[in-house]
Structure 1
Amino acid sequence: MSVFLKATPSAFVASLGLFAALALPACSTRPAEGEKSTAGTAAADGDTAAQPAPIDTIKIQAMAMRRDSLKADSIAKKNGQLPGAILPGHRIVAFYGNIRSKGMGILGREPKEQMFRKFAGVIKEWQAADPSIPVQPALHNVTITAQGTAGKDGKWRLMNSKSTIEEVISWAKEHNCILFLDVQPGHSTLQAELPKLEQYLKDPIVHLGIDPEFSLATMPGVRPNQRIGTLDAKDVNFTINFLARIVSENHLPPKVLTVHRFTRKMLSNYKNIKLDPRVQVVMHMDGHGDPTLKKDSYDAYIKAEPVQYTGFKLFYEYDARPKPHHIMTPSEVIALTPSPLYIQYQ
């Protein structure tokens, strides 16, 4: 959720069961629950049996995940997309915010039913503007939020309660939306925070967003909103691999990952991002202000440093100020090159 914009130069398918259900432990090689240890045992005659060579379970599982990824690649190359992929056959239009906050965006700012009536009108506008591609409605809830105080562990972030997350999932299902859970890690890391959301990401309608603006682990002592944070390609790759594993283990259609961006330094080494057909990556232009500046930022940071798909944010409160600025219309956004397939209203 950016606070300013800098001027710049100019369908779930069962066949997915072919993926191996393999977990990749982050930091432990102990046997999984219910498995037997591979340690050697004493021989029946009392002599010590020769110890087998140690088994590197992490390496074996990583190799298996790689084979799984190659199999996904082969299907994607043959058929164009993995079964159930949302992009590029749909345009996602999302309302963003937090259902427990009136200040973070349209999602949460207005009473629920009033907000959904407004959302229905927006969806109709987008479908009318481009009848060639169906619109997929989405809610985008900031679920781990950067905070103005450090908290007990000094990480400057707070996660929504289980009941809040379950409530926003129920909102999405009631209104035939998909749902993005957004992460602002503060002084924590994606590696530490994303596992907290795994139980929810096993739901086919739940997808993920990550926000470099509020990723400050490399900036000791900096409070959120004091400086713009950053993520590297290795962080995005960790996230892609994390989601790809969930897709394979749970036989899910591909997940969509949105990455917020409105400056060059918010994402380093973009060329090192490694795509996987189980995860569809959207680089999302997240700045507000004069439409001309928004277009320039889209060209400079999204179009000029392409990854896969593109997104564009519109702000109800900030884009129309000061006059004569205005909130860009669906037709104006669709006319961008490349035409964004993920649209977010805050």
Structure 2
Amino acid sequence: MIDDGPLWSRVSRRPREFVVLGAVVVVAILVVAWTLVGDSADRPASTAGSGPYSTALGNPNEPDAVLTSRATFPASSSAILVRDDAAPDVLARSAQAAQERRVPLLDVGPTSVQPVRNELARLGATSVAAIDPATIPDVGVGVSGLDGLRSPSSAPITDPTLVLISAGRGSEPARATAVAAGAVAAVVNGTDLLTNGDAVDFVKRHNPGRVIGIGGQFGTPALLSSHVEAARHAPELPGGGYTLFPGRRMVALYGSPGAPALGPLGRQNLPASIARAQRLAQSYQPFSKEKVIPAFEIIVTVASASPGVGNKYTNVIDPKTILPWVVEAGKAGVYVTLDLQPGRADFLSQAKMYTELLKYPHVGLALDSEWRLKPNQVHLTQIGSVEAAEVNRVADWLAALVRDNRLPQKLFVLHQFDSDMLANRNRISTANPELAVMIHADGHGTPPVKMSTWNRLLTGLQPGIVMGWKNFYTEDHPTFSPQQTMAVRPAPWFVSYQ
């Protein structure tokens, strides 16, 4: 319970520059099929049957097709070559020929002659062909036209195998090689298979089944394993999928249950709040090509004017009080973010109080740094702040929770309107793929004032952080419409209403 009334209900309106009113269990034994460093001639010959997951770590001069061939073909007496700068039609015809003949397709250029030579030697390929043999560099084996290619003696893959290839130059020969070997190939935009619907569908349907990540872009074997485990076992997010953005936008009611002074979320009961959030999200859909998801941002620890228990200046709401809001929101496809106003407590200690709620796949976490006090500070006399080191401790803990419980990616919101609120912001880590890190702009006032705050927060924003926006019903003059909000650049991925 909130024992002495919400702090915000007992303060006069103040300028915004002074105060705001308002994944995964990793398999026990992970066999690393290929760690490719140094000279490829010293590497093992094959990965067939090497374990539940495999990953290939290459160097910049090794084409992805070479890595794929090594990971999927124990041997092949025949191979097809194509220049790495071949015209699209030549590449397409070469890929089709390799798939039909079930032989590797290796792309070769001035910097990759030696890796291709090494791979042909490993395969035992004595019959090598190309659509235009005259364009192929000397690879140590005579190159004929396709009509001169002998029938291969390679054995196709019989076990379910998915080869993940990062989209980009060289992905088509790698894809064709994987298909020729009998694998299912998925070219993934980025390095996260969780954003690729076809790849997610495959690993769900083939469980267990070997998964091979081609290229160092997929990171460590443990990271590949965690992504596969999440794809196979994690529940989907509201709106579908396993990563938050750019697959959706969110529009949220902000506040706390039963506390109307804290925001619109507390001004009606739970069913009415769900309906209100749904209507609000629908009002944004005409202005977003991405699906707009309704959301709650629930204040679960509330800044207090009195010291309270432990002299912490914060009121902790019992998680059991919040649980029905989390459960019913999940049933209705509403995303929930738990907002912390810790006073003199630290964010990590408070976050851990809500561990069981954060285990729900549709629940994220917000740190409201305005209300994070130093030992001798009090609310409304000083604006709170938090160091990057504390933020990172919370992020690491939350990311581990995602991994250990096979959850989809979580939203991790950092509220800010003043530069000092997030000290050393450039040191805030975005290294946890389990989290979507967001800076949420809490400025209010006239449109020029809000845009000034927005643009100031964008300055120096490190890659990997997305932006959120807050609209105030009474503190903005006027309140931005959905169309005006979505016209802000960059368009916010998360909009909350207070």
Q: Report deviation, 1:303.
A: 4.5
Cα gap change, 1:277 to 1:121, in 2 (>3 Å): same
2:242 corresponds to 1:87: no
Q: How is 1:64-75 mapped onto 2 (pairs within 5 angstroms)?
A: 70-71=223-224
How does the TM-score come out when normalised to structure 2? 0.52
| Secondary structure class of the residue paired with 1:283 | strand
Moved more, 286-295 or 330-339: 330-339
Say which one has the larger Rg.
2
**Corresponding residue of 1:103:** 261
Give the 5 Å matches for 1:1-346.
4-6=15-17, 17=24, 19=26, 70-71=223-224, 84-130=242-288, 132-216=289-373, 218=374, 220-275=375-430, 276-306=432-462, 308-319=465-476, 325-346=477-498
Which consecutive residues of structure 2, in runs of 5 or more, have no partner in the other structure?
Answer: 1-7, 29-218, 229-236
Contact 2:300 2:339 in 1 (8 A): yes
Q: For residues 168 and 74 of structure 1, what CA distance do their matches in structure 2 show?
A: 29
Deviation of the 1:335 alpha carbon = 1.9
Shift of 1:290: 0.7
Q: Where does the alignment leave 5 or more consecutive residues of structure 1 unmatched?
A: 8-15, 22-65, 76-81, 320-324
Deviation of the 1:115 alpha carbon: 3.9
- Alpha-carbon distance in 2 for matches of 1:211, 1:105: 15
Partner letter of residue 408 of structure 2? P
Shift of 1:71: 4.2
CA distance in 2, matches of 1:70, 1:113: 39
Q: Do the aligned partners of residues 224 and 6 (structure 1) sit closer, same or farther apart at CA in structure 2, a change above 3 Å counting?
A: closer
The DSSP-based 3-state class of the residue aligned with 2:277 is helix
Cα RMSD (Å): 2.6
What letter matches 1:156 in structure 2? Y
Question: Displacement of 1:221 after TM fit?
Answer: 3.0
Q: Deviations over 1:272-303 (max 9, x none)?
A: 11211111001000121111101110000235
The answer as to whether partners of 1:284 and 1:302 remain within 8 angstroms in 2 is no
Distance in 1 between residues matched to 2:327 and 2:14, nearest whole Å? 29
Q: How does the TM-score come out when normalised to structure 1? A: 0.74
CA separation of 1:174/1:117 partners in 2, compared to 1, >3 Å: closer, same or farther? same
**CA-CA distance at 1:170 after TM superposition:** 2.8
Give the deviation of 1:100 after TM superposition. Answer: 2.2
Could you say which structure has the greater relative contact order, defined with CA pairs below 8 angstroms and 6 or more residues apart? 1
For residues 179-229 of structure 1, the C-alpha deviation after alignment (integer angstroms, 9 at most, x for no partner) is: 11110110011132121111111111111010100000x2x3322222110
Counterpart CA distance in 2 for 1:239 and 1:3 is 30
CA distance in structure 1 between the aligned counterparts of 2:24 and 2:17, rounded to whole angstroms = 46
Between 254-263 and 270-279, the greater mean CA deviation after superposition: 270-279
* Change in 2 beyond 3 A, CA 1:227/1:140: same
Measure, in 2, the Cα distance between the counterparts of 1:263 and 1:344: 18
TM-superposed CA distance for 1:112, in Å, is 4.1
Instruction: Return the offset for 1:92.
Output: 1.1
Contact (CA 8 Å) 1:92, 1:138: kept in 2 or not?
Answer: yes
